[in-house]
């Protein structure tokens, strides 16, 4: 069965400093992985997706993630945090069969001035 | 174009009442998913439709939960005899039937959710 584990429930950074949100996955085959962002009172928005093409995936708003099979990781990074990045971030794996999404518990990112 | 819409956005129900939550997917999206997001948790899968057929309902927590999509478009999630543990945000998502124009068929578009509070 597929699953993801987000290693940090809360991350706090200063504006302009790098962001690292960590995610490990478990899958019996080559997974499809996603990062979604959820701003307060707004719907989930797809940041980026990995579907067995390039291992370094670029997404929206300057975010990117690297798929590392040897480490079973899919960490999300951004070189310079902006105040508007403050939100809840979910690492997600696609489950086989009917393509339902399996979400991690989420990481709340706080950005301080 | 219009995204996924859900109504109502907020619902307060007394324990034991029945509720119905509506989802309008993006036009042309064959696949429709319902997820439940408890406070402080990630969303969890409830059920999946392909057109009007409910192909997976393995995530429905009890037989009090029922979902339908009779014409392959709008879907309704119904909860009978609501309990306090049903309090959550219910999310609906839809996706394309196939990859097209750079958009993957695996990419799900989410609505804003319905926040259900059972008192």
Task: Write the CA distances from B1 to A41, B28, B37, B43, B95, integer angstroms.
Answer: 21, 12, 26, 25, 14
What count of CB pairs under 8 Å joins A to B?
A: 61
Q: Which of A21-25, A84-88, B96-100, B108-112 has the lowest mean pLDDT?
A: B96-100
Looking at chain A, the whole-number percentage of residues with pLDDT higher than 70 is 98
pLDDT averaged over every residue in chain B: 92
Average pLDDT for A86-99: 89
Assigned token pair, A60: 């929206």
Judge contact between B15 and B31, C-beta under 8 A.
Answer: no
**How far is A2 from A93, CA to CA, in rounded Å?**
7
Residues of A with Cβ-Cβ distance to B42 under 8 angstroms: 90, 103-106
- Write down how long chain A is: 113
- Dihedral of alpha carbons B6, B88, A4, A59, sign: positive
Concatenating the DSSP letter of every residue in A38-94 gives: E-TTS-EEEEEEESSS-SEEE-GGG-EEEEETTTTEEEEEESS--GGG-EEEEEEEE
Which one, of B91, B79, B90, B78, lies nearest residue B116 by Cα? B90
A49, A99, A107: best to mutate for the B interface, most B CBs within 10 A: A99
Residue B104: band (very low, low, confident or very high) from pLDDT cuts 50, 70, 90: low
Least CB–CB distance from A42: residue in B41, B106, B112: B112
CB contact under 8 A, B42 and A49: no
Q: What pLDDT digit, counting tens, does each position of A22-61 carry?
A: 999 998 788 899 999 999 878 899 999 998 778 899 999 9
Residue B1 has pLDDT above 60, yes or no: no
Question: Has residue B98 got a pLDDT over 80?
Answer: no
Determine whether the interchain pair A46/B106 forms a contact, defined as Cβ–Cβ distance below 8 Å: no
Chain A: residue nearest B42 by CA? A105
A82 vs chain B: nearest CA distance in angstroms? 23
Q: How confident is the model at residue A16 (pLDDT cuts 50, 70, 90)?
A: very high
Q: Looking at residue B39, what is its pLDDT?
A: 92
The 10s digit of each residue's pLDDT in B3-31 is 999 999 999 999 999 999 999 999 989 99
Q: Is beta strand B114-118 parallel, antiparallel or unpaired with respect to B53-56? A: unpaired
Interacting residues of A29 by C-beta distance below 8 A, sequence separation 6+? A96
Half-sphere exposure of A22 (CA within 13 A, CB side): 8
Q: Is residue A61 helix, strand or coil?
A: helix
Strand B75-79: give its sheet, edge to edge. Answer: B5-7, B19-24, B75-79, B65-68
Residues B50-68 have pLDDT tens digits of: 999 999 999 999 999 999 9
Q: Determine the pLDDT at residue B116.
A: 98
Distance from CA of A80 to the nearest CA of B (A): 26
Q: Which pLDDT does position B12 carry in this prediction?
A: 98
Predicted local distance difference test score (pLDDT) of residue B6: 97
Q: What is the predicted pLDDT for the residue at B21?
A: 98
Q: Quick check: B8 and B26 in contact, CB under 8 A? A: no
Q: How much of chain B, in percent, has pLDDT values that exceed 70?
A: 92
Q: Are B113 and B6 spatial neighbours (Cβ–Cβ below 8 Å)? A: yes
Between strands B88-95 and A33-38, the pairing is unpaired
Question: Is residue B46 a contact partner of residue B67, using CB atoms and an 8 Å limit?
Answer: yes
């Amino acid at each position: 069965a597929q699953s993801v584990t987000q290693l940090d429930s809360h991350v706090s950074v200063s504006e302009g400093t790098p962001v690292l949100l960590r995610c490990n996955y478990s899958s019996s085959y080559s997974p499809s992985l996603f990062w979604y962002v959820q701003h307060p009172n707004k719907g989930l928005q797809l940041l980026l997706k990995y579907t067995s093409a390039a291992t370094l995936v670029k997404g929206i708003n300057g975010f990117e993630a690297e798929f590392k099979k040897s480490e079973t990781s899919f960490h999300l990074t951004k070189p310079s945090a902006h105040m508007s990045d403050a939100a809840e971030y979910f690492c997600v794996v696609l489950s086989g069969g009917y393509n339902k999404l399996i979400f991690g518990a989420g990481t709340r990112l706080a950005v301080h001035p | 174009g219009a995204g996924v819409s859900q109504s109502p956005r907020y619902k307060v129900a007394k324990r034991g009442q029945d509720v119905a939550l509506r989802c309008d997917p993006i036009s042309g999206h064959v696949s429709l998913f319902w997820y439940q997001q408890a406070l402080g948790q990630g969303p969890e899968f409830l059920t999946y439709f392909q057109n009007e057929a409910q192909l997976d309902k393995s995530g429905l927590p009890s037989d009090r939960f029922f979902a339908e999509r009779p014409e392959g478009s709008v879907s309704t999630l119904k909860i009978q005899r609501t309990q306090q543990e049903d309090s959550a945000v219910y999310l609906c998502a839809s996706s394309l039937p196939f990859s097209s124009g750079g958009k993957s068929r695996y990419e799900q578009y989410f609505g804003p959710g319905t926040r259900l509070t059972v008192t």
